[in-house]
Structure 1
Amino acid sequence: MFRLILITLPLIIVIFVLEITLNFLKPTTYEKDDFLGWKLKKNFKHEFSNFTKKNKKYSTIFITNKDGNLEFNLNGSYEKTIKILIIGDSFSTDPLVSNEKFWYSVMSKKIAETNKINLNTTISGGGGYGTLQQLLISNKLKSLNPDIFILQFCINDFENNILDWEKRNYRFSQYFWRPYFDLDSKQIYYEKNIFKSILKPFKDSRLLSVLLSRTGILAEKYFSDPIQNDKEMFESSLKTTKYLLQKIFQNFPFSKKIILSCKQASNFPDTEWKKIGNEIGYIVLTENNKAIEGAMRENLDIFNIDGGHYNELGNKIFGEAIANEMEKKKLLNSSNF
């Protein structure tokens, strides 16, 4: 027994020190949730150090409110106040830039100044969220009855919405906790396996989250099962995603409903998001993707160090393009509100 203690004690100490260190250096903005899988912490505030892809350092002050949402309000002396609700994923809710430098803040500032209006913008969702999680969030927030509702879609949502797809790409840190939707039974379900049961007591561990993510990346690199021609998988994803997007749409009967994607799609079924959005009745915005592609052609430093998400400049370009397209489509005309 004493020998066992001597062997395990150093390991326990190392794990404890790593956990404390990770939470101190880069605390997670999320906590696990039995229903949503994970959600933003309430009343969270922290200053993060970030880097652009070209290794330029910048600081990020990330703040959530008492409801676990982000917000950006512009309350001036104008007579009219417009409420905007945005539901998205990591491109809207991860600590990549400070709250006031996110794309939605850039967008809000520009449309407020142009239209001489006050704006109350609420942002909800979570990094890695699929469409079902966004629907569950919208069920809670539909009582806000916003004037404008924006769904920030992402092309990887098609994968996020199908358990078998995520499992074949080893998304351990997501499919272990994420809820999924069965289109036939119209029921929500969760992944069940022995590893998840073993790890559940440690679900809020920062170290476990990092290990699951890194293990998944390595497994995807060496063992991922290509599904380029899996028509059945694609069809299931398209049908499920469209159904969930319709349900979100129906939650906001009195709002202007906009859908936009965080990235330009090039592969099927990712390219279908615009078609689905139009069929449901969303106002589909695409100029933001064109603006990002233009910045990439100019080799501008628009990405975070991870190479996928946008830094301050990327968010500025993204947000301004959205505001410009909203103006072009006359979505903020005073007669519409």
Structure 2
Amino acid sequence: MREEHAFEFDKLKIRTHFSSKTWKCLAEMLVNRIDVQTGVVMRNAIMLNPSRIDYRHRYLQRLAPGERICFDNFRHHGILLPYGALNANHNTQNKFIIDPTYGWVMADSADPLSAWDIFKVVQVKYGTADEDFYGKLFFYLREQFEMFIDRLQKFTINFDLYDEDALKLSEKLKGKQFFDRIYVNNLSDETYVGIKSTLTKFRPLLNADNPYATLITLFMNWLPSVPQSDQEKVMKNIILNNSDKYKSNNMMANITNFATEISNEINALYDHDQEFEKYMETKGANKTAKKVGLRRRTVHRIVPKRLGISMNKDEQNNVLSLENERDRHLWFDVGMHTFLEHYVEWEIVA
């Protein structure tokens, strides 16, 4: 049974469409009585797990000394503040990510830096040291939240929150609500719903009266579907053709191990658009799109096709261009991307 509630705050309206089970779960979270010390132990069991020390050390060795200190500080405390800031008053736990039964519910790889544009974060020039990325993120997010609150106060905004399966929800909304933009994240990956079902189910929700209405899909897990032999061939070609440092006989003798270590750089610097096109064809994306009245947008209007790629019309199909060593460090050493991410914009066929 679903319970619908509306909450109004001046120009802001929030409507919830949750099941009684979800409301019960939220209520249990809010009355969570875990004390601070127990919460710290639960968090440390995940974030500082001894079995994962090699994972942490491999990441630390890529960072500058100051960056390591700040990373280690956040690992131990989990409080997003500039390094050295007083945290005595930050003594209330986030009840939504710690559970009395299951403990700390997030993976140890979860890191706030990976959720925001690191190049915008490092542009913060005040309040903390240059290598304190977490401190910079604190000030960056404070600005973002202030702008967001300002917009909530100035504009009429409605939020509708659901807790249903995405495909079931699309059926429920069909014919009732239409949208100018729909972003489904990587629901289109074959490990989840797949591109055929995504296009079929969400096409009816696009606003047909808006020629710019767009469905945005993200593909994150597409490369594992490519045969292993092709993956190895791609990696070997990049090592041979891109840099003298990849041509060492010792490296080539251990190409599998070496390629694993630099796989992110290989993915970023290689133009694997042809492989992606083959993948889309194999999954029947283009045929399904034509059947439901959609087409892939050749020139994107909203998001770049790949991480770090320009939105300029003539540069959208380029591979990542590293302007300097600083950019390389931020992308590959600090960042936590695979560079296999592909965004696709779908528009209605007129």
Which TM-score applies when normalising by structure 2?
0.30
Choose between structure 1 and 2 for higher RCO, CA contacts under 8 A separated by at least 6 residues. 1
Structure whose residues are more often strand by fraction: 1
